[in-house]
Amino acid sequence: MTEVDSVVAHGAHDLRVQRTELPMMSASEVEVAPAVGGICGSDLHYFHDGGVGDFTIREPLVLGHEIAGTVTRIGGDVIGLPVGTRVAIDPSRPCGTCESCRRGERNLCTDGRFLGSAARTPHVQGGFRRRIVVGAAQCVALPDDLNFADAVFAEPLAVAFPAVGRGGPLLGRRVLVTGAGPIGALIVLAAHRAGAAEITVTDVLDAPLAFARRLGAHATVNVAEIDGDGVIEECDVAFEASGAPAALPTCAARLRPGGRLVLVGLLPPGLVPAPGNRVVTRELDVVGSFRFVGAEFRAALDALATGLDVSALLTGRFGIDDAVAAFETASRREESMKVQIVFDGS
Amino acid sequence: MTEVDSVVAHGAHDLRVQRTELPMMSASEVEVAPAVGGICGSDLHYFHDGGVGDFTIREPLVLGHEIAGTVTRIGGDVIGLPVGTRVAIDPSRPCGTCESCRRGERNLCTDGRFLGSAARTPHVQGGFRRRIVVGAAQCVALPDDLNFADAVFAEPLAVAFPAVGRGGPLLGRRVLVTGAGPIGALIVLAAHRAGAAEITVTDVLDAPLAFARRLGAHATVNVAEIDGDGVIEECDVAFEASGAPAALPTCAARLRPGGRLVLVGLLPPGLVPAPGNRVVTRELDVVGSFRFVGAEFRAALDALATGLDVSALLTGRFGIDDAVAAFETASRREESMKVQIVFDGS
Amino acid sequence: MTEVDSVVAHGAHDLRVQRTELPMMSASEVEVAPAVGGICGSDLHYFHDGGVGDFTIREPLVLGHEIAGTVTRIGGDVIGLPVGTRVAIDPSRPCGTCESCRRGERNLCTDGRFLGSAARTPHVQGGFRRRIVVGAAQCVALPDDLNFADAVFAEPLAVAFPAVGRGGPLLGRRVLVTGAGPIGALIVLAAHRAGAAEITVTDVLDAPLAFARRLGAHATVNVAEIDGDGVIEECDVAFEASGAPAALPTCAARLRPGGRLVLVGLLPPGLVPAPGNRVVTRELDVVGSFRFVGAEFRAALDALATGLDVSALLTGRFGIDDAVAAFETASRREESMKVQIVFDGS
Amino acid sequence: MTEVDSVVAHGAHDLRVQRTELPMMSASEVEVAPAVGGICGSDLHYFHDGGVGDFTIREPLVLGHEIAGTVTRIGGDVIGLPVGTRVAIDPSRPCGTCESCRRGERNLCTDGRFLGSAARTPHVQGGFRRRIVVGAAQCVALPDDLNFADAVFAEPLAVAFPAVGRGGPLLGRRVLVTGAGPIGALIVLAAHRAGAAEITVTDVLDAPLAFARRLGAHATVNVAEIDGDGVIEECDVAFEASGAPAALPTCAARLRPGGRLVLVGLLPPGLVPAPGNRVVTRELDVVGSFRFVGAEFRAALDALATGLDVSALLTGRFGIDDAVAAFETASRREESMKVQIVFDGS
């Protein structure tokens, strides 16, 4: 039985670097040595709250689902992924047999396994450790000139790109993005690339808004200081990426009749105050966007491989032994955008 | 100056039958003698609350926007609508020049005139009176064999049909309808005609649920007596037609991942508790449906003319002098579905 | 090695009932004894032309992909499908790894295996034989009260229903269907259930048009005798189900501006004369519909299980030894709609 | 009665600069002195063929529908457009009452008036003359810093932008554009702005392909010299902008299963050879895109006003007296992209 160093959440504010047991590898699986892992907002929720949305940590959980690394062993049925292949890992493993999968909506799989998630118990252990076992089908080989630090952005990009797609064609459209954290920032980047005519971004801190401007925002509003209602123009499409319920009425108030609101940020579980009457009378479309299918993960990686520059978003790198410091730094939104954990690969 | 008997709301619980002045008729307008008028939920809101949603009565308002009658005079530029023509009246008169109209979304006109509405001040006076002046373009001639009592259903049908269309193709789909008032009932009728495999309907009263079963519902649940969560099956598409915020979590809880929720019932103004997290994680589509374009009004009338039977929905008829009784009867949901006011036309 | 009686196409007009070897069964597969098999238009193309569309018979091919029967043996990993289970067989087996599958568009799998098809070589042998080995995931258990003769309609229904769905919501719409063979007839049935206001059907023979009227067509036109252009009304949505290129200009000529044409019938390979200019200037949508995903097969079976009556379409039943007569009868469109082959199951 | 110098097509190869009578101006109309007019492909068709598509010149026709100029007189009901206002002219004037208009699809108006078009008789006279009378609603005021030469690109942009929108979200998608004339070039520009990952462009001449590369094409193929089938990669969305039927099979062959083909170029009237079978079996979407609504014209003008640079496309400018030379130059695709006629405005 192999044990490897891992970043393990035991509950709120109880994150430990400790050895965990590596599971057996089946014939269709591979073992990967992670090189870089990105800390995501849901990792931070596990760190601070001991859970995220409806999911609560019920047993020790290795965090991490933004992972790139090198294949170190392969199962008997695996072809085309020789040891030594540099890969990005798609953290989703849909079941293939639920009603959603049968409809082809694998992003909506109701029985899937997602790396580093407490959605099911036993939890699916994540990728912040020195070795990880995943399905070969989850691995996408990296082009030679794509480094690991960029490649791990494939996962959050695979969230942001379909979310932007859910907004419909953006060419010439006026866009509002509420929340300028890593996902909001990538949505700004994507909306800018998609030809949005005007992109307005709101947040409650100046630092992330500065990032948003660098990534393509035409205007930013610190809604902790200024009432957005007075200064935000009417828009065609809004993306809610803050997870803050207060953003919902802002979005609805600024959308034109027939406009479209894409909810990306994970809102608090249960009920939140929402502008339902306005959705009816203005005939708005409000659509959720949460996960992605394999083709979307590959498309995100392709975008990185062909020059999409996300390096401005990387604000910190820490070794695995400094994982707690990494999480604390990532939590300070006034200074951090994306923080990565670097594994030595040995 | 002509004055005609009218049903006028002066504020909450202050409905009077009194004479009002008929406005001048322009060259593109016609004068119609209403024969029948249907009382709609928004009329009842004006009656009980002195307003509906964000719109408050600020001056006396002739109610009524479900109207059919006979043309009695025509403006100089009107062709094809001779005096004596029996018509149904499309209560919408979009401005034609706002951004929504320029996009072709005349149902979303931000400067339109809607019969019997306090949305703008001066209010647009409605059709519950012995004469009314409307645009010739708002009048659709009735086929000989369509009587007025059926023809006035064109307006609520023109609400229900596009709402059902917003739900996407329903053939073989499982449908939930919350609220079995007149609009909910017409949505049941429409969903049934659209081939829904299963239609479940909820309400807080048994009487409207009995109507729903007659119109095509396969199952009904009185959610005042039974907790719907335990008995309502998963559905593909939900239609919220009650206007009760409590229906929102019910709909979201029963929708399959990727399902679609159409909001038709006018929710209370401002913020209502809504299952935002579920919209995100299940990637639901929540879309509002409020009004209609001229082609949809005509399609609804065509459906009535070619045999769509709505007569079961008509539960009461009152003369104009008994308008207050008509409104009181219409307000008793345990006995009434659609109540009409009958004008003698003289 | 097991050999079983099979209906084998060797080329054009060379259909033989002969013994063929049953392949080995893997752990995830089951063996089924077909009870009933329906003859499809593509089977007839193999019979008459030695191929269908771009696919040509290059080796003996057991025909048949509309199959229901009883499970006779199961592989080691199969659960929930005990021997004796009555099943309908979904003839599609998508690869799960091609780009289409990764997008969730399993109906568009570019490396799939479809029963009784020469699309790939070696051909995928079909279901017109006394035993067949298929993936357990392809089998859907039948409710007790659904007989085999009805259950085999699940496959053509699973073609017709999504095709109708590709036409968008049909409630109150005017529909044209060109071609009243089995697929066209099922589209008429489905469009009728989906609430189409008017359904006009064309064919070059009177007999299938009589079927169409029974299934819900409001008007039929024998375009071998009457020039359709003069008599067919404008429509909102057209379904081309004849496979005859001559139907394309008819559809385009009768569609309203912005109308939608769904191509279902397999057109001749290569180029066919099409009204391209009209597609541009009237901004038509022309969309192809060919296959289905697993959820759609199940939905079709559900429709049959809950009372969709297709029995009127069944015009002939033959034993396996009379397979050639069955194919010849099925080819006479003036007398046949759907012809089935009945296996004794022993 | 006023007569003004005009560019008049009398039939194929019979273009004359001559005086024509200016019509009376109604109360809702304005008189504009054109400053610049762009020559469009349909103008060239009238010039060379005496017609375009199904429309044939039956009486002298003033050409031109890409027009910007200065208001010189206004009708009595016109507000907000004082004499001296610099405007771009939307050449479309939908009827407002046909079924398409009632549906809100004003771009599909079946009784509209389009500047410089033989679609109806009497023809609607165009804008290549020293004065023109148009509806006030057709005029959009120019921002001060937008010159006339750029502003006249609003019309072809208003064709290209919605066409690109008909292709769906392009972010990260692989795009093919067949035909690199002015509309194809603007589609390349728009697809590039909409974030397409790869844009491949085909034409039969090198010169327009060089323009396409400057506007964002990643690869170009001269299909007069190279068989495109061998070198063009699979794409997600194709735009046919050549009007050459030979491009249809190229597009269909390169589209992925489930891909989308937008037909923009006006194909020859009647039937053209098209890959119908491939549309069926690959479940392609083929959609036409022809005209635009008022909001789209304004959006195009907004894009120009906020920095969209189209100046590279302007390859020639001629005075009205040299109109024939302008048309001849514009016809030489090996040297010209967009050619403009400049009026002195007096």
Chain A residue with Cα closest to B100: A257
Q: State whether B293 and D107 contact (CB < 8 Å).
A: no
Q: Are A51 and A57 within 8 A, CB to CB?
A: yes
Q: State whether B105 and A273 contact (CB < 8 Å).
A: no
Min distance C237 CA to chain B CA atoms (Å): 13
The closest CB to that of B197, out of C164, C172, C302, belongs to C302
Q: How far is residue C35's CA from residue C88's CA, in Å, rounded to a whole number? A: 10
**Predicted confidence (pLDDT) per residue in A241-291, tens digit:** 999 999 999 999 999 999 999 999 999 999 999 999 999 999 999 999 999
Give percent of chain A above pLDDT 90: 92
Residues of chain A neighbouring D170 (CB-CB closer than 8 A): 169, 171, 194
* Mean per-residue pLDDT, C115-132: 96
Question: Three-state SS for A154?
Answer: helix
Please report the pLDDT score of residue B96 as a whole number. Answer: 86
Residue A1 has pLDDT above 70, yes or no: no
- Sorted by sequence, the CB contacts under 8 Å of residue C104 that are 6+ apart come out as A103, A104, A105, A106, A107, A293, A295
Please report the pLDDT score of residue D346 as a whole number. Answer: 42
Residue C346 has pLDDT above 50, yes or no: no
- Sorted by sequence, the CB contacts under 8 Å of residue A15 that are 6+ apart come out as A7, A8, A9, A47, A63, A323, A324, A327
Give percent of chain C above pLDDT 90: 92
Q: State whether C190 and B171 contact (CB < 8 Å).
A: yes
Please report the pLDDT score of residue B346 as a whole number. Answer: 42
Interface test with A, best of D157, D161, D171 (most A CBs within 10 A): D171
* Mean per-residue pLDDT, A99-122: 93
* Mean per-residue pLDDT, A155-176: 96
Question: Could you say which DSSP state residue C259 is in?
Answer: E
Chain B residue with Cα closest to C193: B195
Query: Is the entire prediction scored with pTM above 0.90?
Result: yes
pLDDT tens digits in sequence order for chain D, 346 residues long: 689 999 999 999 999 999 999 999 999 999 999 999 999 999 999 999 999 988 999 999 999 999 999 999 999 999 999 999 999 999 999 998 899 998 889 999 999 999 999 999 999 999 999 999 999 999 999 999 999 999 999 999 999 999 999 999 999 999 999 999 999 999 999 999 999 999 999 999 999 999 999 999 999 999 999 887 778 889 999 999 999 999 999 999 999 999 999 999 999 999 999 999 999 999 999 999 999 999 999 999 999 998 899 999 999 999 999 999 999 999 999 999 999 999 974 4
Chain B neighbours (≥3 Cβ pairs under 8 A) are A, C, D
* Mean per-residue pLDDT, C112-127: 95
Q: How far is residue A75's CA from residue A27's CA, in Å, rounded to a whole number? A: 4
Residues of chain B neighbouring A105 (CB-CB closer than 8 A): 257-258
Q: How far is residue A328's CA from residue A44's CA, in Å, rounded to a whole number? A: 9
Residues of chain A neighbouring D171 (CB-CB closer than 8 A): 161, 164-165, 170, 190, 193-194
Q: State whether D280 and C266 contact (CB < 8 Å).
A: yes
CB pairs B-C closer than 8 Å: 56
* Mean per-residue pLDDT, B307-317: 93
Query: Is the minimum CB–CB distance between B246 and chain C shorter than 8 Å?
Result: no
Q: Please identify among residues 132-161 of chain B the ones whose CB lies closer than 8 Å to any CB of chain C.
A: 161
Q: State whether A285 and B286 contact (CB < 8 Å).
A: yes
Min distance C226 CA to chain D CA atoms (Å): 21
The closest CB to that of A295, out of C96, C103, C295, belongs to C103
Q: State whether A302 and D197 contact (CB < 8 Å).
A: yes
Q: Mark residue A246 as left, alpha or beta (left: phi above 0; alpha: psi -120 to 50; beta: remaining).
A: alpha
* Mean per-residue pLDDT, B307-322: 94
**Predicted confidence (pLDDT) per residue in C73-83, tens digit:** 999 999 999 99
Min distance C52 CA to chain D CA atoms (Å): 11
User: What confidence tier does B1 reach under pLDDT thresholds 50, 70, 90?
Assistant: low
Please report the pLDDT score of residue C184 as a whole number. Answer: 97
Q: State whether A288 and B287 contact (CB < 8 Å).
A: no
Q: How far is residue B74's CA from residue B140's CA, in Å, rounded to a whole number? A: 14
- How much of chain C is helix, strand and coil, in % rounded to 5? 30, 30, 40
Residue C345 has pLDDT above 80, yes or no: no
Mind spelling out the 3-state secondary structure of chain B?
A: CCEEEEEEEEECCEEEEEEEECCCCCCCEEEEEEEEEECCHHHHHHHHHCEECCEECCCCEECCCEEEEEEEEECCCCCCCCCCCEEEECCEECCCCCHHHHCCCHHHCCCCEECCECCCCCCECCCCECCEEEEHHHEEECCCCCCHHHHCCHHHHHHHHHHHHHCCCCCCCEEEEECCCHHHHHHHHHHHHCCCCEEEEEECCHHHHHHHHHCCCCEEEECCCCCHHHHCCCEEEEEECCCCCCHHHHHHHHEEEEEEEEECCCCCCCCEEECHHHHHHCCCEEEECCCCCHHHHHHHHHHHHCCCCCHHHEEEEEEHHHHHHHHHHHHCCCCCCEEEEECCCC
The closest CB to that of A290, out of B100, B268, B283, belongs to B283
Interface test with A, best of C28, C93, C103 (most A CBs within 10 A): C103
Q: State whether C268 and D245 contact (CB < 8 Å).
A: no
* Mean per-residue pLDDT, B126-147: 96
**Predicted confidence (pLDDT) per residue in C27-74, tens digit:** 999 999 999 999 999 999 999 999 998 889 999 999 999 999 999 999
**Predicted confidence (pLDDT) per residue in B35-93, tens digit:** 999 999 999 999 999 999 889 999 999 999 999 999 999 999 999 999 999 999 999 99
Interface TM-score (ipTM) > 0.90: yes
Chain B residue with Cα closest to C168: B169
Please report the pLDDT score of residue D118 as a whole number. Answer: 95
CB pairs B-D closer than 8 Å: 32
The closest CB to that of B277, out of A105, A257, A269, belongs to A269
The whole-chain average pLDDT of chain B stands at 95
Query: Is the minimum CB–CB distance between D268 and chain C shorter than 8 Å?
Result: yes
What dihedral do alpha carbons D234, D238, D242, D244 form, nearest 10°? 70
Interface test with B, best of A42, A95, A279, A292 (most B CBs within 10 A): A279
